[in-house]
């Protein structure tokens, strides 16, 4: 029997969300081991040496890093294309994906979501109000100001839906979990694009799993997600106790 496409990683990760959206848009069936970051076992360390999610395992390859995974899926399953055809647009789409993964990841995940959710709920550390205020008043507006210069007045960034729209939108689900939404008056193009993208079935269908994960203690994630119909793997790479990552941030 061939190995079915398997994704390791929580429904709450924007990087996992990006990969799941791409799998859905390309019509690729998959199973998921929805482990929370920081809770992978030793076998997880072996396949994800930076100990980050998502990881993809299929009949040909084991890969970590969402951008590498999405590019692999595009190369192996070219239709529908999710990278623009023109060389310059293709490069710009990759840049916007990189901007989302690096800078939006830093501000929305490692600052905002970390302060509001991960520190208190995973590590038992209270929210730092000074850090949170700087994120909300300085860093997030700067990210939004840049995005606004890149967004179209209507439709998708490169005409057809692409990895750039998907990568950017994925982060706004986590901003929403931390009760932050872009102001549609200040950033009208970005707000509208994110709303359009998150309304796609590729994102919409994940919402029930995201909400359930948010509201459930870690040891019960698999059971409640299974009850909701999530396509779970039979086995898990997860452990009960979280441990700090291997990267400095
Ligand atoms: N560049 C990576 C980033 C993935 C990432 O940062 N994942 C987070 C979850 S949102 C993680 O696994 N963090 C655990 C850690 O850093 O130890 C990608 O695109 O996949």
Give me the domains of the chain, ranges plus CATH numbers: 6-81+205-228 (3.40.30.10), 87-202 (1.20.1050.10)
Tell me which of 34, 53, 56 to substitute to probe ligand 1's pocket, judged by most ligand atoms within 8 Å of the beta carbon. Answer: 53
DSSP class per residue in 23-57: HHHTT---EEE-PPTT-B-HHHHHH-TT--S-EEE
pLDDT tens-digit profile, the chain (249 residues) = 678 999 999 999 999 999 999 999 999 999 999 998 888 999 999 999 999 999 999 999 999 999 999 999 999 999 999 999 999 999 999 999 999 999 999 999 999 999 998 899 888 999 999 999 999 999 999 999 999 999 999 999 999 999 999 999 999 999 999 999 999 999 999 999 999 999 999 999 999 999 999 999 989 999 999 999 999 999 999 987 777 777 765
Cross-strand bridge partners of residue 135: none
Q: Determine whether the shortest distance from the Cβ of 38 to ligand 1 is under 6 A.
A: yes
Cross-strand bridge partners of residue 57: 6, 62
Closest to 5 in 3D by CA, of 33, 29, 35, 40: 29
Q: How many CB atoms lie within 10 A of CB 247?
A: 8
| Contacts by residues 1-4 (CB-CB < 8 Å, ≥ 24 positions apart) | 2/59, 3/57, 3/58, 3/59, 4/29, 4/30, 4/31, 4/58
Assigned token pair, 214: 């948010």
Residue 48 half-sphere exposure toward CB, CA atoms < 13 A:
28
Residue with CA nearest ligand 1 atom 13 = 52
Tell me which of 13, 15, 36, 107 to substitute to probe ligand 1's pocket, judged by most ligand atoms within 8 Å of the beta carbon. Answer: 15
């Amino acid at each position: 029997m061939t190995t079915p496409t398997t994704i390791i990683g929580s429904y709450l990760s924007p990087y996992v969300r990006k990969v799941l959206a791409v799998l859905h848009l390309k019509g690729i069936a998959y199973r998921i081991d929805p482990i929370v970051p920081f809770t992978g076992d030793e076998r997880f360390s072996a396949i994800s040496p930076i100990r980050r999610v998502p990881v993809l395992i299929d009949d040909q390859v084991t890969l970590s890093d969402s951008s590498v995974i999405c590019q692999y899926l595009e190369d192996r399953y070219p239709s529908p294309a999710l990278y623009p055809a023109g060389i310059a647009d293709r490069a710009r789409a990759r840049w916007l994906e990189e901007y989302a993964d690096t800078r939006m990841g830093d501000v929305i995940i490692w600052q905002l979501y970390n302060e509001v959710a991960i520190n208190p709920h995973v590590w038992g550390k209270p929210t730092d109000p000074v850090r949170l205020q700087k994120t909300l008043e300085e860093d997030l507006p700067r990210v939004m100001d840049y995005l606004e210069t890149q967004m179209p007045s209507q439709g998708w960034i490169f005409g057809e839906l692409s990895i750039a729209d998907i990568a950017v939108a994925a982060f706004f689900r986590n901003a929403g979990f931390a009760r932050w939404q872009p102001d549609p008056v200040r950033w009208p193009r970005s707000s509208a694009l994110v709303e359009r993208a998150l309304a796609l079935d590729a994102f919409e269908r994940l919402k029930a799993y995201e909400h359930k994960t948010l509201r459930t203690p870690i040891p019960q994630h698999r059971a409640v997600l299974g009850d909701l119909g999530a396509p779970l793997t039979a086995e898990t790479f997860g452990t009960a106790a979280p441990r700090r990552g291997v990267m400095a941030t």
